[in-house]
Amino acid sequence: MTDQSLDLASLLCSRLCHDLLSPVGALNNGLELLAEERDPEMRKRCMELLEQSARTSADKLKFFRLAFGAAGGFGDTVSVEEPKALIDALVAGNERITLNWNLGAPVLPKPAVKVLLNLAHIGIDALVRGGTLDIGAELRDGAAEIVIRATGAKVVFDPVIGKALDGALDPGELSSRTAPAHMIQQLAASLGGGLQYALSDGALVMGAVLPG
């Protein structure tokens, strides 16, 4: 493994830990409150919060397992229901985001699923005030085509992430925030494909074409 690969793996781990810190911290706080609380109603409320935090932690772990990891439990292709369920769970607690799906194939190659998950995650992060996330994927002439469109009152997109998607990221700009975009750009390039994005007022559109 090269030094660059080690750096990327470390930064992806940092991103995973960052995203898990809040729900895991809530679990710890909830357990501390439960140990001290004697009121039955308050204990019931603590248990509800613990269940919610545990569910959120599990959902994020499942998401990152397929988005970042080897996902050894899957074959070369993955049912589109898998990424759909992972992304649905990721936004389940956010009533400000509406998901629309247009999946034109029952299965996708595993690399395409990784790209779809990471682009969707970028789209979710961009909708800081909520909005709509449209997700489409299909297989055409042996190639996987993916489109993610995030629209809302305020769409925030870090231009450094755009550079990572373009393959123009300077090594000094690689961070836990840009590592996922850099990873899928490298993945797409290794397959002879590419990523694109366009940002306009109130909309971020990202796409990928990955040859089979």
The model's pLDDT over 134-186, given as tens digits with 9 standing for 90+, comes to 999 999 998 999 999 999 999 999 999 999 999 999 888 899 999 999 999 99
Confidence band, pLDDT 50/70/90 cuts, at residue 2: low
Ranges of each domain in the chain: 3-210
* CATH class for the region spanning 3-210: alpha beta
CB-based contacts of 108, cutoff 8 Å, min separation 6: 77, 78, 80, 83, 116, 137, 139, 144
Of 168, 145, 155, nearest to 202 by C-alpha is 155
Confidence band, pLDDT 50/70/90 cuts, at residue 53: confident
Measured N-to-C along each axis, helices 110-126 and 179-190 cross at an angle, to the nearest 10 degrees, of 150
Of the chain, the percentage scoring pLDDT greater than 70 comes to: 97
Find the mean pLDDT for residues 24-50.
80
Find how far residue 208's CA is from the centre of its chain: 15
Give the pair of three-digit tokens for residue 94: 């956010």
Task: Specify the pLDDT at position 174.
Answer: 92
Q: What is the pTM of this model?
A: 0.90
Confidence band, pLDDT 50/70/90 cuts, at residue 71: low
Tell me the per-residue pLDDT of 88-131, one tens digit each, with 9 for 90 and over.
999 997 889 999 999 999 999 999 999 999 999 999 999 999 99
Which run of H or E residues covers position 31?
helix 3-36
